[in-house]
Amino acid sequence: MYKRGNNWVTDFWNEGIRYKKSWGPISKTVAREKEQKFKTEVREGKHQKKTKRILFETFSEKYLAVAWTDKKPSSARRNEVSINMLMPHFKGKLISAIHPFMVEQYKKIRRESGTEPATVNRDVATLRNMMSLAVGWGYLLKNPLDGVKKFKEDNEKMWVLTPDEETKLLTECEKRKQKRTYLKDLVQLALNTGMRRKELFNLKKIDVKLKSRFLIATDTKNHESRNVPLNDTAYSILKIRLKGDTEYVFSNAGNGKLTVLTNAFWNTIKDVGLVRYETAKDGKEKKIRFRFHDLRHTFGSRLGMAGYDLKTIMEIMGHKDPRTAMRYQHPAPSHKLNAVKSLDQITPKVTPSNIVDLKRKANQ
């Protein structure tokens, strides 16, 4: 409680909601009594603030309209997919009536139907984001889903190409014939810059600075452009691809930018045999194929195994969180084997002639 002019004012928070009330020009003692009574009534629920009522399906339409305006198309599309899955469970309910237990039930039903934890987490994240927006728009006083936890995701292990696998992949890429031959260059540039697929698709010739040996990656995951240094391999590829009058480094048949990874890549992966099987937690065998994003993982891991520091890797690859870049500090099995083999050169050799029998020596 504090005094403003001649008036005593009560100002406090309860369950995430702020309450403020002026008592007028009265004595401090009387104001204290009124404040205590007011706080008790608030805790008893007698002064709940009114909110606007709206059904889940109606609010979803408003939410998606904003998502398609303010977010990237891929993010808005992901929100739309999640809402389509949420709709059968929450349609007809006021958003103010949605509580954590309902969401836990939704998670349970989705998992029992065989949906992957990561997919359920995306749905829940969309719902939480909707509720946060509802608070800002006056439909809710606070987000009731702030405490809802996500499933632990059993993410696929990243695949780091061996030199032999890389040779086979690039050789097969070169065989693929398209209206515009780009597959080998695209794969090789990803391996030598660590750029994401979308960053490569959006790469314009104007953003390539060959003389200074770097390019500018735009429309990145964290919405910040970054300079990517060019090694000799990347330099040679870009020097050739900058020829011609197209706007983008990699363009489709209509001279526009690429938007999807064609079947040429996936057929190449299949023909090269970049597929493996791992045993999942439920004991079933899980098929894992090499993904385009694993080219980025290969780039980062090679930097890590070459001994470059975390900060350098973060800046080149555009990571904001050190924990993301830390994955590249865990080298491949062959690299770890070579590391312990190096100890053979410095560890004294123990042979029968220089072994001392400690028991025998103690009896002497």
Per residue in 34-71, pLDDT (tens digit) is 999 888 888 877 766 666 889 999 999 999 999 999 98
The dihedral sign for the CA sequence 104, 107, 111, 116 = negative
Domain for residue 21, yes or no? yes
275-313 b/e (C-beta count within 10 Å ≥ 16 → b): eeeeeeeeeeeeeeebbbebbbbbbbbbbbbeeeeeeeb
Quote the pLDDT of residue 306. Answer: 86
193 and 92, same structural domain?
A: no
175 and 208, same structural domain?
A: yes
Count the helix, strand and coil residues of the chain and give each as a percent rounded to the nearest 5: 50, 10, 35
Say whether pLDDT at 352 is over 60. Answer: no
Answer whether 34's CB lies under 8 Å from 47's CB.
no
Quote the pLDDT of residue 293. Answer: 92
Q: Which domain holds residue 330?
A: 156-339
Place of tokens 């009265």: 26
Domain for residue 178, yes or no? yes
63 and 170, same structural domain?
A: no
83 and 211, same structural domain?
A: no
CA distances from 110 to 29, 124, 252 (A): 57, 11, 39
Quote the pLDDT of residue 185. Answer: 94
Q: Which two tokens stand for residue 203?
A: 């790469």
Mean residue pLDDT of the chain comes to 85
d(CA 149, CA 331): 31
Domain for residue 360, yes or no? no
63 and 35, same structural domain?
A: no
**Could you write out the DSSP letters of every residue in 163-232?**
HHHHHHHHHHHHH---SS--HHHHHHHHHHH---HHHHHT-BGGGEETTTTEEEE-S-TTS--EEEE--H
227 and 99, same structural domain?
A: no
Q: Which two tokens stand for residue 349?
A: 């050799």
102 and 36, same structural domain?
A: no
80 and 212, same structural domain?
A: no
Domain for residue 204, yes or no? yes
CA distances from 65 to 10, 74, 145 (A): 39, 14, 22
Per-residue confidence band for 182, with pLDDT thresholds at 50, 70 and 90: confident
State pLDDT tens for residues 265-304: 999 999 999 988 777 666 677 778 899 999 999 999 999 8
- Here the CATH number for the domain that contains residue 129 is 1.10.150.130
174 and 125, same structural domain?
A: no
The total number of structural domains in the chain stands at 3
117 and 17, same structural domain?
A: no
Domain for residue 143, yes or no? no
- Here the CATH number for the domain that contains residue 323 is 1.10.443.10
Per-residue confidence band for 180, with pLDDT thresholds at 50, 70 and 90: low
297 and 195, same structural domain?
A: yes
d(CA 327, CA 158): 9
Which of 136, 171, 199 is the C-terminal boundary of a domain?
Answer: 136
Instruction: Give the closest residue to 155 by CA, choosing from 271, 336, 293, 321.
Output: 293
Question: What is the rounded average pLDDT of the residues 11-20?
Answer: 75
Domain for residue 14, yes or no? yes
Domain for residue 150, yes or no? no
Domain for residue 87, yes or no? yes
331 and 280, same structural domain?
A: yes
Place of tokens 């025998």: 360
Higher per-residue pLDDT: 217 or 331: 217
Quote the pLDDT of residue 298. Answer: 93
